[in-house]
Amino acid sequence: MKQFLIKYAPILPGALYGLVLRLIFNIPYGNHFSFTDLFSITFIWIVPFIMGVAPLIFAKKRYLENIGYTAFVPLLSILLFAIICFITRIEDIICIVIIALPFLLCAMFGGLAFGRLILKYRERRGIVYSILFIPLVAGIVEEQFIIPSQAFEIRTVRIINASPDNIWKNVIRVKEIKNNEYSKGFYNYAGIPKPIFAELDKDTIGATRIGHFEGGLLFKETVSYWDKRNKISFNIKVIQSTLRNTVFDQHLLTGKHFEFLTASYELKKITSSQTQLTLTSSYQLDTRINMYASMWGNSMLSDFQGRLLDVIKVRCEKNQTP
């Protein structure tokens, strides 16, 4: 047991090192000095790389000579880091899932790349320990660059065996979605709220539709285009006062890094009893990792749109109307 503890004890400082950096990069420092934030190359790619190196600094020499050890121990540090973040509610499941791939890959690569170097230079402690400051330096440097802004669009299509008139009624106003109507997926169980209902105050351009979601989250949707039975478009804003006290809401829905822009439903008559319904949504990312973040943003929005259109399809084909 003692040997086991000696062998795997370095996992703890590796995880705690990551936890400290997670907290540092989430502090608002003001205008005069700042590290970069969590939505950055530094935090997503460099921090886990050094997290993979950190536990090896404290490992015994005989273990560093084992390449399997230098690859496996960093992964355990990441796992412990994730567990601590979840237990302390620093991160939600969905956030942990999003960072899991780069954290695991970079940590393992960091361990493999630096394992032998640490073994060679471990007597020069100043050089070895200086590695731990790389994310801090990188965070300061990255903050000097302008954050890129980029818009993305997701399009989801369903063929519905119903008339445009019937579908239109189910699109502009959505009555309460019962649990047995909505098929929850991974993202819902991971913390993304499911839609409940949507109410429209009037049938014209400039009208306001309020989208209600689980946990009391509300979206204000202003009608920007109205072509009855053909197309309706909205400009979308989250109602900030309804944001839940969850990591997901506070990180993604405050408008600092992620913002919903528009949504539109378009109906195209195929036959007298069949209609193509297209839901197109757009959102904007303001991060230094837009390419990686958009992969998850596209996946989450595609999942949401598909499940919502499935509800509308079933309702229309059963001739259910609000």
Cβ count within 10 A of residue 14: 28
Cα–Cα–Cα angle for 233, 190, 77, rounded to 5 degrees: 130
Q: Which CATH number, 3.30.530.20, 2.60.15.10, 3.40.630.30, 3.20.20.70, labels domain 149-317?
A: 3.30.530.20
Cβ count within 10 A of residue 20: 11
pLDDT of residue 313 exceeding 80:
yes
pLDDT of residue 192 exceeding 50:
yes
Give pLDDT, residue 159: 97
| Confidence tier at 128 by pLDDT (50, 70, 90) | confident
Q: And the tokens for 236? A: 């979308």
| Confidence tier at 32 by pLDDT (50, 70, 90) | low
Beta strand pairing call for 258-271 and 149-160: unpaired
Segment 43-64 shows an average pLDDT of 92
Cross-sheet strand order for the sheet of 218-227: 149-160, 274-286, 258-271, 231-238, 218-227, 208-213, 195-200
pLDDT of residue 321 exceeding 50:
no
Across all residues in the chain, what is the average pLDDT? Answer: 91
Residues facing residue 225 across a β-bridge: 233
One DSSP character per residue, 286-302 reads ESTTHHHHHHHHHHHHH
Residues 6+ positions from 286 with CB-CB distance below 8 Å: 147, 148, 149, 256, 257, 258, 259
Give pLDDT, residue 318: 86
Residues 6+ positions from 281 with CB-CB distance below 8 Å: 153, 154, 260, 261, 262, 263, 264, 301, 305
CATH 3.30.530.20 intervals, the chain: 149-317
Segment 21-48 shows an average pLDDT of 85
Q: Summarize pLDDT for 271-299 with one digit per residue, the tens.
A: 988 999 999 999 999 999 999 999 999 99
3-state SS assignment for residue 31: coil
Q: Summarize pLDDT for 222-248 with one digit per residue, the tens.
A: 999 999 999 999 999 999 999 988 888
Q: Are the CB atoms for 276 and 159 separated by under 8 Å?
A: yes
Give pLDDT, residue 62: 86
| Confidence tier at 126 by pLDDT (50, 70, 90) | low
Cα–Cα–Cα angle for 93, 98, 104, rounded to 5 degrees: 105
Q: And the tokens for 2? A: 């003692």
DSSP H stretches of helix in 231-289: 247-252
